[in-house]
């Protein structure tokens, strides 16, 4: 597959500067225009402020791009949900059609790895959906984490998922799940889940050392670094779980399935919480960008 690497990103790769990949589904499907573009550019500015180089990933006219230009980010924001979400299975069709595509966690990992970018910041990963024992609805993100050499910094798996089952699959895939200054898996909108991570890391240097150790061993696969949402933006667990349950009931009644589940649920939750969940989502991404860049900086020194 042809990958176009932004000249700034290419220069950063050559000079071994801290690079951070970013997904584009959050732009096309995460929120309305122009808030989506403003948020994407703010995340890039946070990475730069912390001494890193951002590389927003997407598909433009059938070409994988690592480092979308501001103009391309603007266009992706304007087109919004008319741009398809692209996971691993969708890549051949998008490439053949020479169309635009917004990268999920899985596809961002694929393209970032092809370009040689180790670190990727996102909001939350996909995982095992609630009721997966009958629907078998498991995100391709977990498969990608098991095979692709990219470190993902996030606020845990999305709270709409079955978190215990998601952890079990990650364990089966051999993916280390680390907690940034926490022993407990964060649950996206909230700082706690009642579930333990594999290992608690104290700081960015600890995280960088673990990433290097895995790469030196030649063990293929990703690493998941979970970073809790800042306390001032964390939502009440009982409230958000009640809202999620309501949203899932409506989704089931409407027969929504597959890759349309997550966008529907996130939009419905934002509607029920009168935008508070979306505000929390944005803040946790900002926080992940800052922490991810600090980790990438430490890694670049090793």
For the chain, list the strands marked E by DSSP: 3-5, 19-22, 53-60, 63-66, 85-86, 101-103, 119-121, 151-154, 177-180, 199-201, 223-226
Which of these, 102, 110, 111, lies nearest to 262 by C-alpha position?
102
Contact yes or no for 25/38 (Cβ under 8 A): no
Paired strand residues for 157 = 125
Count of beta carbons in the 10 Å neighbourhood of residue 236: 10
Catalytic annotation present for 158: yes
Residue 60: HSE in the Cβ half-sphere, 13 Å Cα cutoff: 20
Residue 40's SS3 state is helix
Catalytic annotation present for 23: yes
Catalytic residue, chosen from 44, 72, 85, 158, is 158
Q: Is 76 exposed, middle or buried, given 0-12, 13-18 or 19+ CB atoms closer than 10 A?
A: buried
How many Å apart are CA 242 and CA 212, to the nearest integer? 41
Catalytic residue, chosen from 23, 72, 118, 298, is 23
How many Å apart are CA 187 and CA 94, to the nearest integer? 32
Catalytic residues: 23, 158
């Amino acid at each position: 597959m042809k990958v176009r690497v932004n000249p700034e990103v290419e220069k950063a790769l050559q000079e071994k500067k801290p690079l951070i990949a970013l997904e584009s589904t959050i732009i096309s499907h995460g929120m309305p225009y122009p808030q989506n573009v403003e948020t994407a550019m703010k995340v890039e500015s946070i990475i730069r402020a912390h001494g890193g180089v951002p590389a927003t990933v997407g598909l433009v006219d059938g070409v994988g791009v690592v480092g979308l230009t501001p103009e391309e980010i603007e266009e992706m924001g304007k087109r919004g949900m008319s741009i398809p979400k692209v996971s691993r299975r969708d890549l051949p069709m998008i490439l053949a059609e020479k169309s635009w595509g917004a990268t999920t966690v899985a596809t961002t990992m694929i393209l970032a790895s092809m370009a040689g970018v180790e670190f990727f910041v996102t909001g939350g990963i996909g995982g095992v959906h609630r009721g997966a024992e009958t629907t078998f609805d498991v995100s391709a993100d977990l498969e990608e984490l098991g095979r692709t050499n990219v470190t993902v910094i996030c606020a845990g798996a999305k709270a709409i998922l079955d978190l215990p089952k998601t952890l079990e699959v990650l364990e089966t895939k051999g993916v280390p799940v680390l907690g940034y200054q926490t022993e407990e898996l964060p649950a996206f909108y909230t700082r706690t889940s009642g579930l333990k991570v594999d290992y608690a890391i104290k700081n960015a240097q600890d995280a960088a050392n673990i990433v290097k150790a895995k790469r030196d061993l030649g063990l293929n696969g990703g690493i998941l670094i979970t970073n809790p949402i800042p306390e001032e933006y964390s939502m009440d667990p009982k409230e958000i779980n009640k809202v999620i349950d309501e949203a899932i009931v409506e989704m089931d009644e409407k027969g929504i399935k597959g890759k349309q589940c997550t966008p529907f649920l996130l939009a419905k939750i934002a509607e029920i919480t009168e935008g508070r969940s979306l505000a929390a989502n944005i803040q946790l991404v900002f926080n992940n960008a800052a922490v991810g860049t600090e980790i990438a900086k430490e890694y670049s020194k090793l």
